[in-house]
Structure 1
Amino acid sequence: MTKQDRAVRTRRALIRSAAEQFEARGYVRASLAEISAGAGVSSGALHFHFANKAAVAEAVEHTAARALRRAAGQGRSGDGSALQRLVDVTHQVGRLLCADVVVRAGLRLNAEAVAGRVRDLRREWRECVHELLAEAERRGELAAGVPPHRSIAVVLAATTGIEVLARDDHGWLGRHSLTDLWHLLLPCMAAPHLAEALDPAGSGPRLVEPEPDVDVEPDAGVEPDAEVDADGPVGDASRADLALR
């Protein structure tokens, strides 16, 4: 394994461990000692990558933002009915939140406005909903008398509410919650000629494709205590992290 490979693996493990701590305890109560222990590395290895806890939180938010941006982008660029793509992308984001502690923690940190940062992780989602419903209106997919701005407000309120409720009960992220939501909304939103063709449960599985980590500098070197067994904490975190890369 090269020096850079070890640095990438350690950084991914630290981000995942930090996300687990931030989700469970919040930013203030999470400690760097617990984060480094969860990643299976020393505090020196943590500080090799991150100057302080705020920098770790920033990395968690950044990683979450990239995953959410990819999910929203897939909904915007797909084929077929704009309303069906909106349904599909809500299920996609729901699966992402259910599977990815980093995304969940990133949203929690963002809501807490940790360290005064101004990144808005929900902006991509708002823009995605806005664009898809505007497209649906242009294509005649919305029922008569349904103004897009009202539909946008309802969809955003409902999906954001599910995400907030899921902080205490991940069952809210299950497919049934979003399916029930669309069973109620689609008959009110969709044009009659389209309503029967739409699937509230989503038209098929669509996964966020993994992509390489781009946060590690090429000449990062070897951090203290970076080398750990591939079947230990870092190996597990690296494999799990593929879902969000």
Structure 2
Amino acid sequence: MPQQDRAYATREAILHAAAEEFDRLGYDRTSLTAVLARAGLTKGAFYFHFPSKEAVANALVERQDEVWSQVRESWRGRGLDPLTTLRGLFTESAERMSADVVLRAGVRLNAEREIGYPGVPSAHVLWEKLIGAYLAEAAEGGHLRTGVDPEAVARTLCGAAIGARLISSATTSCGDLPARMRELLDHVLAGVATSAGKLSGSQSASERASGP
């Protein structure tokens, strides 16, 4: 294996091992010793790639930022109606969280940091605004019932999604998060969508299955 490939593989092994520990215990309770043991590496190999545990955590947070940016851009570019796009965003996000410990760890680390810095704009607030924009578009297109407040629905969806993630993380390591998210979407959107909105949402699963 070329040296560059070995270096990349070692860095990924460190990130994956650290992610498993961070996902299980959080930042404060994760020790560098545990990460090294899980990765099967020496301190020298670790410090060649990262100067500290904090640097690994930073890399994981950056990785999840990149993933979410890609997911958002992917769904925005599909030209679907706003409610179908919302379903797709929520569903794919849950599936990725369930399957990828590196992503889960990055999300947990980012959330822990936001708790420690009140008043700083958080990823949760940014997601809430994004969801609200899609719901406002749905309202303009006649896909939400008269009198429904898109911002209130956005707050409800975002808060419930965070709660679902926390419970799923604590009980199944996010194994049942996709199912929880489908239940959430079905119940919340059923209460606010018009017949046209419900129809577009019900088509989302088949569209996703046949799409990219």
TM-score normalised by structure 2 residue count: 0.85
Measured against aligned partners, the alpha-carbon deviations of 1:148-186 in whole angstroms (never above 9, x if no partner) come to 111111111111111111220236744332222222122
Q: Which runs of 4+ in 1 moved over 4 A?
A: 116-119
Report which structure shows greater RCO (CA 8 Å, sep ≥6). Answer: 1
How many aligned positions are there? 206
- 1:38 matched to 2:41? The reply is no
Q: What is the alpha-carbon distance in structure 2 between the residues aligned to residue 39 and residue 120 of structure 1? A: 31
Please state how far the C-alpha of 1:200 moved relative to its aligned partner.
8.1
Higher helix share: 2
Q: Does 1:91 align with 2:91?
A: yes
Instruction: Tell me the amino acid that sits aligned with residue 6 of structure 1.
Output: R
Cα distance in 2 for residues equivalent to 1:119 and 1:45? 36
* Residues 201/169 of structure 1: CA separation in 2 closer, same or farther (3 Å cut): farther
| Offset at residue 128 of structure 1 (A) | 2.9
CA pair 92-160 structure 1, distance change in 2 beyond 3 A: same
2:183 match:
180
How do 1:158-237 residues align onto structure 2 when only pairs under 5 Å count?
158-170=160-172, 173-199=176-202, 202-205=205-208
Q: Any stretches of 5+ residues in structure 2 without a counterpart?
A: none
- Change in Cα spacing, 1:177 to 1:80, as seen in structure 2 (3 Å) is same
Matched position secondary structure for 1:145: coil
Q: 1:236 — aligned with what?
A: none
One-letter amino acid of the structure 2 residue matched with residue 157 of structure 1: G
Q: Does the C-alpha gap of structure 1 residues 163 and 177 become closer, same or farther in structure 2, counting only changes over 3 Å?
A: same
How far apart, CA to CA, are the structure 2 residues paired with 1:181 and 1:200?
17
Q: Residues 64-213 of structure 1: matches in 2 within 5 Å? A: 64-113=64-113, 120-170=122-172, 173-199=176-202, 202-205=205-208
Structure 1: stretches of 5+ with no match in the other structure: 210-245
- Equivalents in 1 of 2:132, 2:158: separation in Å? 9
**TM-score (normalised: structure 1):** 0.75
Mean Cα displacement is larger for which, 166-175 or 197-206?
Answer: 197-206
Aligned CA RMSD, in angstroms, stands at 2.5
